[in-house]
Amino acid sequence: MEHSDFSSKIPTKIGEKLFSTVNLNIKFHIWMGFLSVLLLACFYAYYIQLRDGLGVTGIRDFVSWGIYLSNFVFFVATSLVGMLVSSVVGLSGKKWVIPITRIAEIIAVAFAAVAGLVIVSDMGRPDRLAYVFLYGRFASPIFWDVTVVTLYFGISFLLLYVTLIPDLALGAKFLKWRPKWLLWAYNLLSLGWKGTEREFAILKKSIRILLILIIPMALAIHTVTSWLFAFNPRAGWDSTIFGPYFVSGAFVSGLSCLMIAMYFFRKNYKLEEYLTDKLFDNVGKLLVLVSLVYIYFNINELIVPGYKLKTHEAIHLRELFIGHHSVLFWSVQIFGLIIPTILLLFKPVRKPFPMLLLGVMVLVGSWFKRFILVVPVQEHPYLPIQHVPEIFKVYTPTLIEIMVTIGPMVMVLMIITVLTKLFPVIPVWEMAEHGEVKENE
């Protein structure tokens, strides 16, 4: 096959190395097989929920938003990392992010794609999903949420694809011994890319447009998600800063997820040359920055009602600080936020392995933080809870509910696995264009 001069412009060393990860090997199949079995088990749990109704979960009249909803917020949050890395850092001219832009985009696409499904799992009548679009009201935050989540997914997906096009054209040269269908798909999707200057001009303009568009979109998606709570007069949700509070929290959970992914690809895909220590160092600093902003919002969000102690706010804060949820609350704040932030201030900690550990801590903390945001508030409504069984008062998720919650996580892992196995995880053409991305200042 005659490859355009485009592929010859790519240094063979970079091309071969980065395309070597595109490889549906036995490990991939075992891993996917394992995930599929797990997913089937989760589907079975969901089947039971469909058959018997939401009564199989721990959600009841008072806590009607349980871990499904907190999981949803977590998913939306984590998907924001795409916007942070590619747009905010990328557009500011920092070239060091290039190796991780695609990983960030893949995380964004995976989480955004599944976020909608998480909401469906919370619905008693999922067959009525279409009603949201048929009868949705302009005044309903749920309607905006559906709109922005869909659009954000669309934009992220398009961005992922557009930045992939030149790499797809390289497939013919660097993927010789891979299955035929893969090459065929690469060829089809590459739009016949030849790498001319005009093509690049169009491509780069499109990427730029998408990178800019994704910023308001990402802010919208998580601000609207926060409004699902803050448009409510309940003590604990009745806050004016929920928008920025959620967005800053989203950056924290997204970056921690990215850190884990980086470590994984560095080790398993043998990408130490590209996912360098220096890169980890930079991401660590970025996490410190967003965590400090998030800590700031946390303090503000707790100290303002804490000073005024209006009756119901006081009940809520008491539950968090010393009551029923205090252990979880303080663990999340201390181990999921404060300790990682302090540790990451030190350069020796900003190394791949310690950052993997801290990434896991922050990510787990982020998940439970969403639980803290969603559940306790509902346990003390303004009107007293009277004459109800004990299980109505205190929410405890059931096994089925936990399985149905794990399902979307498995899906995310599957999407990430498939995408990172079918396509190079590091943008080849951009790496070639910018040389072996020099250490950043």
CB 218 to another protein: min, Å: 12
Residues 6+ apart with CB under 8 A from 278: 96, 439, 440
- Residue 8 CB neighbour total at 10 angstroms: 12
Closest by Cα among 117, 74, 86, 82 to 362? 74
Give 55 or 192: the residue with its C-beta nearer to another protein. Answer: 192
Angle (CA) 166 172 175, round 5°: 105
Give 217 or 343: the residue with its C-beta nearer to another protein. Answer: 217
Residues forming contacts to another protein in the complex (CB under 8 A) are 137-139, 144, 147, 151, 154-155, 158, 162, 165, 191-194, 196, 198-199, 202-203, 205-206, 209-210, 213, 217
Give 40 or 209: the residue with its C-beta nearer to another protein. Answer: 209
Find the helix or strand (DSSP H, E) in which 187 lies: helix 180-189
Dig out the tokens for 348 from the structure.
């020796």
- Report d(CA 2, CA 184) in Å as an integer: 15
CB 98 to another protein: min, Å: 21
Burial of 373 (C-beta count, 10 Å sphere; 0-12/13-18/19+): buried
CA distances to 23, 98, 168, 183 from 186, in Å: 14, 22, 5, 5
- Report d(CA 275, CA 267) in Å as an integer: 9
Angle (CA) 432 435 438, round 5°: 140
CB 375 to another protein: min, Å: 26
Closest by Cα among 291, 315, 258 to 369? 291
Q: Report which residue type is found at 331.
A: S
Give 151 or 328: the residue with its C-beta nearer to another protein. Answer: 151
CB 130 to another protein: min, Å: 16
CB 139 to another protein: min, Å: 5
Give 365 or 427: the residue with its C-beta nearer to another protein. Answer: 427
Helix, strand, coil percent values for the chain (each to nearest 5): 75, 0, 25
Cα 195 to chain centroid distance, Å, stands at 32
Give 169 or 344: the residue with its C-beta nearer to another protein. Answer: 169
CB 194 to another protein: min, Å: 6
CB 138 to another protein: min, Å: 4
- Report d(CA 214, CA 122) in Å as an integer: 27
Give 186 or 265: the residue with its C-beta nearer to another protein. Answer: 186
Largest CA distance in the chain: 78
CB 229 to another protein: min, Å: 17
CB 217 to another protein: min, Å: 7
Residues 6+ apart with CB under 8 A from 327: none
Give 221 or 317: the residue with its C-beta nearer to another protein. Answer: 221
Give 23 or 140: the residue with its C-beta nearer to another protein. Answer: 140
CB 295 to another protein: min, Å: 32
Give 151 or 364: the residue with its C-beta nearer to another protein. Answer: 151
